[in-house]
Each structure stands twice: as structure tokens, then as C-alpha cells.
Amino acid sequence: MPSTHLARRPAGIIGFVAFAAAACGSAQRNDVYRLAAPYNFAFYDTHEEAARSFYAAHFTHFAAYEILMSPGQDTPARMSEFETRVRAYVADPPKFEPPAEIIAPRWTRLAFETAQSMDWAHMLHSQLYDILTDDRITDKRTAGERAIAYYLSETEAAFSTRGYGHRFMEGGGEWAGNFHVAYPDINGILWAYHWHHAAVYEALMETDPARRRVELDRVIDVFTDSVLLELPHVMPLTAEVAPRFSRLFPAAAHIFDNLHMMHDVVNDIMAEPSYSLSEKAAEIERLRGQMVYAGQDTVEAPGMPMGGDHRMSDGAMRVPTELPTGRWLPQGHPEARMAPMGDFMRPLPAPRSGRPAGVSGGGVR
């Protein structure tokens, strides 16, 4: 299982990471560093404000898990206070990205593998932002696919490249929707951050550096002045928000959708009042095991329940679509094929021919 969180952090934080890992009682685990490349950290160095805005998002996810480690009658009040802190972080985000062990030490001990899978996907986020930012990289597609293949080489940690949409968060268990119902404002902020991640990718698709900076500034303004004021009612898929990016890197779009869905799944499981902590840990690991790359050839994703208030947009009904060129469009892409709602009520079977379109044994085609 990879550990990526020691990348470019001050010595004091690195020391604290070692302390936190010891405090979590975890066994020694080997570290896997991000793919070595000249573009690393280009996004932070060029667009620091945009880069730092994501650190608040990751803090929000993990800190919410930590609050739910000790549920009680005061949990709604603690969540309300937490929301105030989160909104303050939007205006003044952390300068460096703290790892899950620091933000949520008890939860990380409960669900270490899931925390590591999430941080590993955050590493891929960073590398693709770097590639799109660095103008020395002229062949963005080749560089990006190499980074994706490196990410997928950790098969037990990487999230699947299949388009599951919202299936696991809707039909994964009796806990589905718990967090959304109990804490709609925090949940909406998290979905807003999912929009933000994808919108930044689309801004970085601009080839002119000056235009790219203008688009990034616009995304941050829209995020703070609009999206955070009118919070999303559904979890946006990457391809809905970033169609150009998702056409270039369809496997990455699915990876990030599955990462975001896993974040939602963990919220719901942690908010399930009938589960003990050990039951929550087992259920989180069960869901993670179904959503990682290692098992995507054999996993049957659940159907969504009949009726009810489904947390999916109309765009999410557009399913992965192979193009005549052999490339493919991910779920949610505005040019992908629209499927009837009934298809989403039925389980999604494992691929008949092994890996899904666009993915070879060594990575992304």
C-alpha cells in the first residue's frame, strides 16, 4: 500500500507524520513516492492559490471522519462549528497539504488502507495538474497516461478505471444517504469541492498561459461566490464539469469519480448509528475492495434502489462510450451515450472481455 504524503513538506511536518503513524499503531509500511518527473510541483509553483484551495477540501473530508469517530447528541453542534471552520479555510487555506494521519489520527487507525488509497489518488490529482500546467511538457496525453499507468501499478490502492457513477453510494448498503440527510450543508460543501477539482482541470486545458490563469481565477471566483452559496444537490461527475479533460484522460475521470464516491461512502458508513466502530471498519474495507483497480475485472457493481431521491444528475445517465478511433468517453461526458434509468437499477456486471475499453494490462491505452 503506497504512502505519498511525505512529498515536499517541511521537516517539522515530516517528523509529526512519523509520530502520527506510530500513534496510529500501524505496522511499518513501505512508501511509494510520486512518479519522478521534471513537472512535479509545477501547479503549486505557478498557481499557488488554486493549489492551496484543494488542501482545505482534503482537510474537510478527513476531519469530518474524525468527528464521526465519537458520535453523540452534540454531533450536530460539532458539525455546525466544523462548517464555520471549513468556510474560514476557503478564504485562508493551509499552505501545505497535511496527510490523513494528522487530520484524522483515530479514523486513519480505523481505516488505514482507505486513507492510503485516498492519498494515493490525491497524488495523481497533483501530477495531472502539474502536467497540464508545465508548458515544457508538449505531449500532455503521453505524460498524463504515463502518470496514470504509474498510479495504477499499485493495483490494491488505486481506484478503478470503470465508470460506476453513483452506484456504490446509492446501492452499496443500508447506510446509503445517511450523511447527506444528517448533515446536508457539510455534504454540499464536499460536493462543491468535487466540482472545484474538475473545474480546475478544465481551466488548465487552456493552451495559452495567460488565458489559463484567467480561467483559473474565474473558477475560484465561481466556486466562492456561487457554488459555495448554492451548494450542489448531487455529486457531480468529473466529465460533466471537465469534458475536455475527460476526453483526454477518460480513465482519470473515472478514477476521480470513484475516489469521490468512496469519500461519500465513508461519510455514510461513519454516520450509521447502528454500526460499531469495528463494523464500520469492516464495511469501509469491503467497499474499498470493490472499488479498487485490482478487482475491477470481476466486480459486479450494485444497482441503484428503485424509487427514492437518487443523488445523481441527468448527465450521470450518460455511460462510457467507445469512439470509432478506439478512444472512449467516460461516464457523464456530454457526448457520451445516454442510457435509460432502468439500466442503473440493475447491477453492472463485470466486463465480459476483461478490462474496460481504454485500459490495457499495463495501464491506459
Q: What is the pLDDT of residues 314-342, one digit of tens each?
A: 889 999 999 999 999 999 999 999 999 88
CA atoms within 13 A on the CB side of 63: 20
Mean pLDDT of 165-185: 93
Lowest mean pLDDT among 25-39, 83-97, 183-197, 260-274: 25-39
Q: Residue 223: inside a domain, yes or no? A: yes
Q: Residue 6: inside a domain, yes or no? A: no
Q: Which three cell numbers stand for residue 252?
A: 482519470
Say what percent of the chain tops pLDDT 90: 73
Q: Do residues 200 and 217 touch, judged by C-beta distance below 8 A?
A: no
Q: Residue 3: inside a domain, yes or no? A: no
Tell me which DSSP letter residue 233 carries: S
Count of all residues that appear for the chain in the document = 365
Number of domains in the chain: 1
Lowest mean pLDDT among 152-156, 232-236, 361-365: 361-365
pLDDT value at 267 more than 70: yes
Q: Do residues 169 and 176 touch, judged by C-beta distance below 8 A?
A: yes
Q: Residue 4: inside a domain, yes or no? A: no
Residue 351 pLDDT class (50, 70, 90 cuts): confident
Mean pLDDT of 84-104: 87
Question: Who has greater pLDDT, 287 or 19?
Answer: 287
What is the span of the domain harbouring residue 285? 11-364
| φ, ψ of residue 238 in degrees (nearest 5) | -55, -45
Amino acid at the residue 150: Y
Q: Residue 30: inside a domain, yes or no? A: yes
pLDDT value at 109 more than 60: yes
Helices 140-152 & 250-270 angle (0-180, nearest 10): 40
Question: What is the C-alpha to C-alpha distance for residues 316 and 147, in angstroms, rounded to an integer?
Answer: 26
Q: pTM for the complete prediction?
A: 0.89
Q: Residue 58: inside a domain, yes or no? A: yes
Residue 193 pLDDT class (50, 70, 90 cuts): very high
Residue 71 pLDDT class (50, 70, 90 cuts): confident
Residue 308 pLDDT class (50, 70, 90 cuts): low
Q: Which three cell numbers stand for residue 108?
A: 486513519
